[in-house]
Each structure stands twice: as C-alpha cells, then as structure tokens.
A and B are shown apart, each in its own frame.
Chain A
C-alpha cells in the first residue's frame, strides 16, 4: 500500500552498492521461506524462495541465505538500483500451513 513503509526499519544505500536485508523468523519447524518486494501502491511481488534443506540460493542479482541455527534469513541485492527501492519482507511456512510474514524493511536507493 501507499503507506506500508511507515514504522519500518529503513536501509539507505547508494546506487551500485550491495544491499543486505535481514529477517529473523520465529518457527524452528518452518521449511520454506520467501522474499517479497512491495513497491508503493502495489501488491507484494515474489523475488526468491528457499527450502530448509538449502543454505543459499541465487537468482538474478539476488541471493538468499538461510541460517537455521539462529533462525535468520537474509536477502542480498547486488549492484542496487533506484528501481530496487521498495519494502522487502520475508515469509516463512511450515508444511501445509499458511505463510507467516515479517514486518518488512524499507530499502531506499539514492542515485
């Protein structure tokens, strides 16, 4: 939504920098994780996912790292661009249950 970024932690980077967005999840039994990107006024958009039997997965300019020991997920964006400015949030899932979403982080990219 338009004001979904209010009250969120913010990461400010320069264009061309690498960005790292972190997420702590709550359920040690979660076995599937997704990162979403939400631009102002739009619905969340799938970026990348990872299953619990993996530690790392790479996409185009994005990498997701999963540390099950400390229940931590991170999203790395290489060569961040102004178009990457958005709210990013993680989601976790256990088996056939519904997704549980994090609150999100706002990424601001300066030209």
Chain B
C-alpha cells in the first residue's frame, strides 16, 4: 500500500519562528510536491522537486524554502513564520514521466499565532 506521511497533523507556532514540515514517501517516487490549501483558493503549489537535490518554485514560493537531500524525503521550511502562513499544508509524490497519478499525505494543519 502506497504511503506518503507527514511529520505532524497539527502544529502551532509563533510569528518569527522557523518551521520545518517533513514529508516521507515509501514508493521510490522521483517527484515530490508541497501545496497549501486554503478555503476559496484551492490547492496552490509552493515548491516541487523532480529528483534528489533538485527543486523548482511553484506558484507561491515566497516565504518558503525546501530541501531534498534524500529521494524519500522532502522538507518544507518556513524561515520566519507569519500569520498569513496559517494553512493546511499537503505533501504529494508521484513517479516520473507522464500520466502518473499523484499521491497525497494526510496534511499538516499549521497555525501561526
């Protein structure tokens, strides 16, 4: 059974804190993604990675960075958390190439106070 796991389901942080969100997949997928999901705005792509050590900006990368040191792990970093980064964060992975479905993790609900 395929699996994408995220380090926390719920997280509460203070403004200005550095926040790490971890994502691990056990499917040997090349591609990994970070989204945020907000009411009325749908899923928005923050960053993605086609392979280890590679990263690409998505639609809303400002205020975020990522790290992909190992194939199975993709980390999202909020360098200095702000209240407008309160959101649901979803990680996903898929195998490389075309016509391949994307598998999602359970999400991390981050609240920045």
Contact = CB atoms under 8 A, between A and B. Distances in A.
Contacts, number: 60
Nearest to A44: B104
B42 A101 contact: yes
Contacts of B45: 98
A89 B42 contact: yes
Given A42-B107, A89-B42, A4 B101 contact: no
Interface string B22-38: 00000000000100010
B106 A99 contact: no
Given A4-B37, A7-B39, A103-B42, A46 B101 contact: yes
B102 A99 contact: yes
Q: Which of B4, B41, B43, B97 has most chain A Cβ within 10 Å? A: B43
Given A34-B101, A46-B103, A51-B99, A102 B42 contact: yes
A32 B102 CA distance: 12
A44 B105 CA distance: 8
Interface residues of B, number: 24
| Secondary structure class of chain A's binding surface, majority of residues | loop
Given A89-B42, A103-B42, A1 B98 contact: no
A62 B41 CA distance: 26
B74 interface: no
| Most chain B beta-carbon contacts within 10 A, residue among A44, A45, A46, A102 | A44
13 contacts: A1-B37, A1-B88, A4-B88, A6-B40, A7-B40, A31-B99, A43-B4, A44-B43, A44-B90, A45-B104, A46-B103, A91-B102, A98-B58
Interface of B: 4, 33, 37, 39-43, 45, 48, 58, 88, 90, 97-99, 101-107, 109
